[in-house]
Amino acid sequence: MQWVGGWVVVLVLCTQAATIHWPFFTQQTSKGDRFVATIGQQRLYMVFDTPTAYAYGDMVDVAIRIKPCSPPTNPGQFNACRWMFKEGIDAMALVRSHRLILPSTKSSALIWAAGIPKRLLARCQQLFPRHAGVIYTMIFGGRQRFISPAVNESFHSVGLVHLLVVSGAQISALTGVMLGLLRVARCPFVVVWPMLLFSQGLYCGIAGFDASIIRSIVMTDALIWNHFHALRRYPMGWYIGLAVAVVVIINPKSVLGAGFWYSFCITFALMALVQPIMARIKGPRWFVGYSVASMVAVLVAIPIQLIQSSVVAPMAIVANLWVAWMSGVVLLGGLLCVCMSPPMPFLAQQLGIIIDTVADIMIQSSQTLCQLMGVWALDRVTIITAIGVLSLFGIAIGGLRWHSRRNSLDHAQIQGRIKTCVMIMVCGSLGAFAWVSVTLSQRQFVMAIDVGQGDATLVVNGFNAILVDTGGKMGDDSAAKKVIRPVLHYYGIDALDALIITHQDTDHSFGLSDIVAHGTSVVYTNEALAINHHLVANPVDIHMRNGRIRLVPPSMLFPNETSNNRSLLVHITLSGVSFLISGDMDEWMELQMLRHNLVPSVDVLKLGHHGSKTSTSSEWLDAIRPKFVWNSAGKRNRYGHPHQSVIDRVSERRIPWLGTHHNGAIQMRVDADHLSIITHHQKKTYFLPIGDE
């Protein structure tokens, strides 16, 4: 068995100069401009750290640092490499400096057209001072990204479908409104058709192109042409098939994106299911149609959302029923307000106040609903099983209907066969989910989550989940929000049974509030907190089925020691396999714990203090006699963790080891007679015998 450890040879990112022509399509964000440019043989995603004032066609000199994509180091994290492949991007280019070399020589009309999105955004900021980013996105799509992370998270948490497939839904609505107005004005088709194409082209110039927009344009234009000019009637499936073919031909990689599936699956479901369901429900047609369409859209979006993020919002249907009508008001009213502002600025300003208020109510409603129920997380096994069962059920019903029509079966025969099919599928579903339940109840593993220069360890024992430490800060946010919560969602963990904070240094406890907000039954810590918690002043045992966690506080013997030396000693046992976490204790405290017989021998040990040279002494290793060691530290951290002297001490004893700084998340799974150690970054699995030697 060969193990990888120690320092990693890394690619040094060098700054290089390049000259680019400012493109027609750029994306403005609160953090700076974004667009794709070809430099040499590479297609680079240009990332500016500030907004710019360049115009289409300007020649700009830039100093960039090429940053190749890095695969996610934890399960459940956003995969930037997959996104870059889908977009045809080779690498990311971080722009360090830039200057104008030569002004644009493009026509003034094109320069003016390229600047429309920025001018519209500025107009929205004047008309809707509180929620300009949200309203702009709901009218013109996501090309300008000025929605705050909190608002974006709340909208997605409650499954607001009109934001998930926003651009296609918008252009369909705008095309329909314009068609209605032109027909009310009794304009001939020779006028209507060019006007529709011009408006769609203008919208695409503002919003750009994606699978949803292309789908919407192809379907609406083909439908209008056949219905009003060619006078031909085709089933709606024909238009969907045409749109799929066009999108795949234009951008084959779009099928890898969630937007493609949201757009086409929801559109197909709305066309296929809304009318038959409405025919069986009595009540006002407008209300029944609105309710059924919202319910169908949400239910169809749920499997896609689960595959994408492993979470589903239980309040999604309620949120769509309540918020969707407000989004329609914001979309049409906001567009009317923007169009009115040049000729009637005062009226536009007054209408803008109303639209801004509606958007505020919509945002507050979504955040309230999100806090009310939150999200439910499902593990990948359950998701795959559920989608497989639903797919088989749909295929079976579809095949049965086709067989019935082909063999001219009467209604009673069809109903009998459907009942038989449903019974078989129900029994099969119960069996499948019983297998899933048994599988999940038997899982046992400890995972070292890669949170950079910090600590976070997840303990899973069947349906129990306990987290040790919450990591530190990553960029402008916490590691808990960026890394730990996606990992919990990936494994279907809605709430933790316990949260253990070894000590309150920032790199161990910065994400405490985010994890508590995620959900936890009890918090164990060695020092007082402002929240409800269990203060560990004496050894505490946390019992689980086939497992136990013992917390030993050094403060019961040495109350005046430093924060690091007051770290809780965490001894984990799963089906006889033992793990030990010592927080940031130094060598002196390790020796004291040994002298007081508070440290047992274990199978797996975590290096103390991220692999610092002041921890994990030779006496510690000799007394504990671990069979495997792991370390949690940041890649290229400024402390030089893990220190070479610690690595030497481990290597001299021929103890295999891995570190999150090189291997990413490390899952140590307890199997029948061995420990399976799986590295997420390199997708490698090692096997360690755990029986008697």
**What span, in angstroms and rounded, lies between the C-alpha atoms of 59 and 54?**
9
Q: Is the pLDDT of residue 7 over 50?
A: no
| Beta strand pairing call for 42-47 and 91-102 | parallel
**What span, in angstroms and rounded, lies between the C-alpha atoms of 198 and 219?**
16
| Beta strand pairing call for 523-525 and 498-501 | parallel
Q: Is the pLDDT of residue 11 over 70?
A: no
What is the reported pLDDT for 642? 94
Q: Is the pLDDT of residue 259 over 60?
A: yes
Which phi and psi angles does 474 have, rounded to 5°? -130, 110
| Token pair of 67 as six digits | 């940053």
Prediction pTM value? 0.84
pLDDT in tens, 120-157: 888 999 999 998 888 888 887 766 677 777 777 777 76
What is the reported pLDDT for 97? 92
**What span, in angstroms and rounded, lies between the C-alpha atoms of 88 and 43?**
7
Range of weakest confidence among 85-89, 252-256, 340-344, 539-543: 252-256
Residue with the larger pLDDT of the pair 273 and 163: 273
Taking alpha carbons only, the member of 194, 184, 178, 266 closest to residue 229 is 194
Whether 28 and 74 have beta carbons less than 8 Å apart is answered as no
Range of weakest confidence among 156-160, 186-190, 217-221, 400-404: 156-160
What is the reported pLDDT for 643? 95
Give the DSSP H/E element, type plus range, for residue 626: none
Whether 552 and 592 have beta carbons less than 8 Å apart is answered as no
What is the reported pLDDT for 12? 41
What is the reported pLDDT for 206? 78
**What span, in angstroms and rounded, lies between the C-alpha atoms of 13 and 528?**
44
Q: Which residues contact 339 (CB under 8 A, 6 or more apart)?
A: none
Q: Is the pLDDT of residue 9 over 70?
A: no
What is the reported pLDDT for 159? 63
pLDDT in tens, 602-656: 999 999 999 999 999 999 999 999 999 999 999 989 999 999 999 999 999 999 9
Which phi and psi angles does 139 have, rounded to 5°? -95, -45
User: What does the longest C-alpha to C-alpha distance in the chain come to?
Assistant: 95
What is the reported pLDDT for 5? 39
Taking alpha carbons only, the member of 242, 244, 199 closest to residue 222 is 242
256-273: b (≥16 Cβ within 10 Å) or e? ebbbbbbbbbbbbbbbeb
DSSP designation for 642 = S
Taking alpha carbons only, the member of 604, 612, 617, 613 closest to residue 657 is 604
pLDDT in tens, 143-198: 667 777 777 777 776 666 545 445 677 788 778 888 888 888 888 888 888 999 88
Percent of the residues in the chain that have a pLDDT greater than 70, as a whole number:
93
Query: ω before 642 within 30° of 0 (cis)?
Result: yes
Residue with the larger pLDDT of the pair 508 and 435: 508
Q: Is the pLDDT of residue 14 over 70?
A: no
Mean pLDDT of 109-126: 89
Angle in degrees, 0-180, between the axes of helices 132-140 and 116-127, rounded to the nearest 10: 130
Q: How far is CA 87 from CA 25, 29, 38, 80, 211, in A?
A: 15, 18, 13, 11, 12
pLDDT in tens, 474-508: 888 899 999 999 999 999 998 999 999 999 999 99
Taking alpha carbons only, the member of 36, 39, 48, 50 closest to residue 17 is 39
What is the reported pLDDT for 143? 64
Greatest mean pLDDT among 5-9, 60-64, 342-346, 419-423 lies in 60-64
Whether 229 and 189 have beta carbons less than 8 Å apart is answered as yes
**What span, in angstroms and rounded, lies between the C-alpha atoms of 641 and 453?**
9
Taking alpha carbons only, the member of 45, 79, 86 closest to residue 64 is 45
**What span, in angstroms and rounded, lies between the C-alpha atoms of 79 and 70?**
8
Average pLDDT score, the chain: 85
**What span, in angstroms and rounded, lies between the C-alpha atoms of 73 and 452?**
10
Mean pLDDT of 310-321: 75
**What span, in angstroms and rounded, lies between the C-alpha atoms of 685 and 57?**
51
What is the reported pLDDT for 691? 59
Residue with the larger pLDDT of the pair 389 and 507: 507
**What span, in angstroms and rounded, lies between the C-alpha atoms of 397 and 107?**
58
Strand-pair partners of 393: none
| Token pair of 376 as six digits | 């439910």
Mean pLDDT of 248-257: 82
pLDDT in tens, 54-105: 999 999 999 999 988 888 999 988 888 888 888 888 999 999 999 999 999 9
In this structure, the number of other CB atoms found within 10 A of the CB of residue 89 comes to: 18
Q: State the sign of the Cα–Cα–Cα–Cα dihedral 442, 573, 451, 510.
A: positive
